Amino acid sequence: MAKPISYCTIDGCEKRVWGHGLCQTHYARQRRYGTTERVGHQTGPRAPFVVCATDGCAEQAAAKGLCRIHYARQYNKQKYVPSVRQSTEERFWEKVDRRGPNDCWNWKSATTNGYGTFGCVYRDDKGWHGVPAHRFAYELLIGPIPAGSHLHHRCENKACVNPAHLEPITPNDHFLTTMIQTIRAKGHTVVELSHD
């Protein structure tokens, strides 16, 4: 037995049903604009500006009463969570395994050559860069690093961002100290000479 033919539920429309009780034209308008009225470049009176149904969103509704972004999230079954931007400090401390005052505070996120890299980016003539995490921690908790100084990890742990383990020293002293640490790590003894 054949199904009875049903027609569009919009008054004055005599086309066959396409989906949800609407003909293809009205169904497409409902999905695209959130209304079955004519919208956009079509002739006739324009439909009123329909605002997205999501709280706090002032964008024009594109489909099912939602703007393009919120419709895409719903379509992809993503739960809408309004974005609350954290402060730079909150983002930084989220990535640190902070322990006691004398323990190493290891960096838990991205690293470059063993040193933590924080995504608080800056740009210079060479492009965009991340900030070394130990330098960010030192400037955040202690203050500015003296001009022309390097920060030396006294704990010999490159991932450590505890400012108590960092000391500003000259580049020459930093090189010598690092060399001494490397030699000792290989099991050799270092004899320090005096300049008398």
Residues of the chain with pLDDT > 90, as a percent, come to: 20
Q: What's the mean pLDDT in 110-130?
A: 77
Whether the predicted pLDDT of 58 surpasses 60? yes
Tokens describing residue 3? 């199904």
Is pTM beyond 0.75? Reply is no
Average pLDDT along the chain: 82
Tokens describing residue 176? 């010598």
Question: Is residue 160 helix, strand or coil?
Answer: strand
Do 168 and 146 contact (CB within 8 A), yes or no? yes
Residues 78, 84: Cα–Cα separation, whole Å: 17
Tokens describing residue 184? 């000792």
Amino acid at 63: A
Between 185 and 104, the more confident residue is 104
89-185: what CATH class?
A: alpha beta
Tokens describing residue 100? 């006691």
Give the C-alpha distances (Å, rounded to integers) separating 108 from 32, 95, 114, 138: 44, 5, 11, 17
pLDDT for 82: 56
Q: Enumerate helices (H) and strands (E) in the chain, giving the number of each.
A: 5, 7
